Amino acid sequence: MQTKTQIQELLEAAGVKPNKRLGQNFLIDLNLMRLLLDSAQIGKNDIVLEIGCGTGSLTEALSEKAGQVISVEIDSTLAEITKNQLAQAENVQVLQTDALKNKNNLNPVVTGAIEKARNKFSGKLLLVANLPYSVACPVMLNLIKSEITADEMYVTIQKEVAERMTAKPDNKHYGTLSIYLAATGETKIIRVLKPKVFWPQPQVASAIVSFVRKKEKTDKIKNMELFGEIVSFLMCHRRKTLSGCVKLATGKLENNKKWLEIFESCSINPKARPEKLSPEDYIAIANMFDQYPS
Ligand code: SAM
């Protein structure tokens, strides 16, 4: 782990300053870095994915615990610093690339590295990271709904995103991310963090959050892709009534009569609004949608 002075020296030696656009706010409170690390309870057979390794402060600590660490960094100068810092650590792979291919897909370079690591390590896949704020939500969503799913996630993110992750129906923060997380696992806010624990200080508070995937929950979702499409479609019109929303459906979701029958068989009032439906309601609707004839 690196102190603020050590990070500043590494950047100065490389002739760069923190890039605000890339969310380069380094976690400099090492007690909190330790809390993030200890929360994850990483084992020697686990694969850890770190998105945004910066100068390698957390990476070094992860390498001491994990079977394999896959660290992704978009900034070529910082990726180079981490490679140099971790040159002796045989279990660290630094990928200098964007973690995402696009909003809906992780970069295949990253998923390819995970698949390769899985041939060697049979433990859990964990996301442990001080996430860059701009990609935090798509990274976590992709690790929930894609073919490669994280068993657990331990991340620092904006407090506002943490609130969205843990929000309940009818709360103003309740959204697609809240529904996905609640439908597939358990999310907890471990600690709220003041801006001063980062350098440079961000404008807003952050939080350490954990997510643990639960098989008993994911098993209930028959078709994850369809579940996702229905959640996104309905929550896009969150304040309309369900009967009003479904008139706007297109493609395979377009079938007004079928929707109304589905709501009835799930005992959901078609006058209810998407923002009031529970994650269980969304699972019931998606599972029923596949069973009902078009
Ligand atoms: N891991 C360091 C720490 O704990 O202090 C730095 C974390 S800093 C909040 C986020 C890092 O993510 C930055 O180094 C930034 O360059 C990198 N980053 C930003 N966007 C990225 C992306 N799309 N893919 C991969 N890395 C990205």
Compute CA 236 distance to the chain's CA centroid, rounded to the nearest angstrom. Answer: 20
Buried b / exposed e along 21-43 (16+ C-beta atoms within 10 A):
ebbbbbbbebebbebbbebbebe
d(CA 12, CA 27): 17
- C-alpha separations of 27 from 88, 144, 180 in Å: 23, 25, 28
Q: Please give the share of the chain, as a percent, with pLDDT higher than 90.
A: 92
The DSSP result for 44-76, as a single string, is TT-EEEEE--TTSHHHHHHHHH-SEEEEEES-H
The CA 33 to ligand 1 mean position distance, Å, reads 15
Task: State the residue for tokens 């079938």.
Answer: 255
> What average pLDDT does the chain have?
96
The CA 79 to ligand 1 mean position distance, Å, reads 10
Write out pLDDT tens, residues 111-165.
999 999 999 999 999 999 999 999 999 999 999 998 899 999 999 999 999 999 9
- Determine the 3-state secondary structure of 223 from DSSP: coil
Mutate to test the pocket of ligand 1, among 5, 74, 100 (most ligand atoms within 8 A of CB): 74
Instruction: Kindly list the protein residues whose Cβ atom lies closer than 6 A to any atom of ligand 1.
Output: 22-27, 51-54, 57-58, 72-75, 78, 98-100, 130, 132, 135
**How is the chain split into domains, by residue range?**
4-218, 224-289
The CA 85 to ligand 1 mean position distance, Å, reads 16
Instruction: Provide the CATH number for the domain formed by 224-289 in this structure.
Output: 1.10.8.100
The CA 68 to ligand 1 mean position distance, Å, reads 19
Write out pLDDT tens, residues 42-70.
999 999 999 999 999 999 999 999 999 99
User: Of 155, 183, 157, nearest to 168 (Cα)?
Assistant: 183
Instruction: Provide the CATH number for the domain formed by 4-218 in this structure.
Output: 3.40.50.150
User: Of 60, 73, 134, nearest to 99 (Cα)?
Assistant: 73
Instruction: Kindly tell me the burial class for residue 126, based on how many C-beta atoms sit within 10 Å of its own C-beta (0-12, 13-18, 19 or more).
Output: buried
